[in-house]
Structure 1
Amino acid sequence: MQERPERRVDIGPEQTLTLEAYADTIVPGEKRWPGDRAVAGVSTGGGAVAAGALELLRWDATGIHDGLEDLANLLNEHAGVYAADAGLTLDDTVPAFVALDYEDRERLIVKLTTPGHPEKDFWVLLSLFCNMAFDSAAHLHTAQALEDGHPGLQAMGITKPDADGLWRFQEFGYGRRLADLHPDTTPTGSPA
């Protein structure tokens, strides 16, 4: 079977900043540089943005890649309404969602993902992909992600594979062997 080539969708700079700010609100990280506006810097270490959330979102395997610009634009519309309702004055040099402080970003996302919100499914899906980039590095080969210092895999304590590229556990998960191997188990662990 021939492998399908991956395709990553390009999005504009304002939409990129907006989606980075969304991803950072879902799994916060530290600022990438002092003037970073998308990443709020409310946490230490790398968050969803450093874990490659935008790369995963732009990947055609997600199924939402073609609608990212529309989602970012819609998020900025919601942020503008949120700011007006809250009496906030936003910096117009960045997209509206990016201009919100972290706590307001968080409040808006809670509102958008609350049961009953007509767009809830979109925002929950976007949130799940941001988590996925951090928790599983689904868009990367695991061994390479670990070699490159992927922040989510490191935070979860995922170890690098053995020299042959396979993962083995030196200790049993429950601190003891739960059962003897079946006598027909092959050396690779497969049933005969």
Structure 2
Amino acid sequence: MTLEAYADTIVPGEKRGPEDRAIAGVATGGGAVQAGALDLLAWDATGIHDGLDDLARLLNEHAAAYAEERSLQLDADVPQFVALGYDDRAELVLRLTKPGHPEKEFWVMLALFCNMAFDSAAHLPTRQALAEGHPGLTAMGITAPDPDGLWRFTDFGYGRPLARMHPDTTASGSPA
């Protein structure tokens, strides 16, 4: 729940339901949580999967100290970071990722993985992510491949081809 709240602070999304405490609900559509940030964080390819419990514990310790400093009363039914409102979550993340913070590298790395889940769906095959309506890829306008499974782009990025096709180029796109 704590890591979901962190991911939602990095790329906000809408609540999954009225009882959702991890997602603050400050944005419409899917955010990092809906994009699979926790799946990406737990993936052994990230190299941080074994330390997630420690990061969540440490984040909650920072949230408790932040709340005490601000004289905030935190709901004891949820982890401390989750109990913070969105603006306080964002302020705490800003502090943790600011140059000079002794743990900055951990929190920036965690934020980068949350962004990666949204921006690239690195933990999923692209076709699968698109078929499942991945919010980040959808928001960026990534389209499904052609029926043969290949992506082709008929609209050029600058509204025109950047160069003429070489006359000796074969049908497969290889030079002759």
- Give TM-score scaled by structure 2 length: 0.97
SS in 2 for 1:81: helix
Superposed, which structure 2 residues align to 1:57-76 within 5 Å?
57-76=41-60
Q: Determine whether 1:151 maps to 2:135.
A: yes
* Matched pairs, number: 176
Equivalence for 1:34:
18
Q: Distance in 1 between matches of 2:168 and 2:107?
A: 49
Question: Mind listing any 5+ residue stretches in structure 2 that lack a counterpart?
Answer: none
How far has the Cα of 1:191 moved from its partner? 4.3
Equivalence for 2:169:
185
Equivalence for 1:167:
151
Superposed, which structure 2 residues align to 1:1-192 within 5 Å?
17-191=1-175
Q: Distance in 1 between matches of 2:163 and 2:146?
A: 24
Call closer, same or farther: CA 1:108–1:181 in 2, change over 3 Å.
same
How far has the Cα of 1:101 moved from its partner? 0.4
- Give TM-score scaled by structure 1 length: 0.89
Q: Distance in 1 between matches of 2:56 and 2:114?
A: 14
Letter in 2 for 1:159: T
How far has the Cα of 1:170 moved from its partner? 1.2
Q: Cα deviations across residues 84-107 of structure 1 (Å, max 9, x unaligned)?
A: 000001001110000000000000
Percentage of matched positions with identical amino acids? 74
How far has the Cα of 1:184 moved from its partner? 4.3
How far has the Cα of 1:189 moved from its partner? 2.7
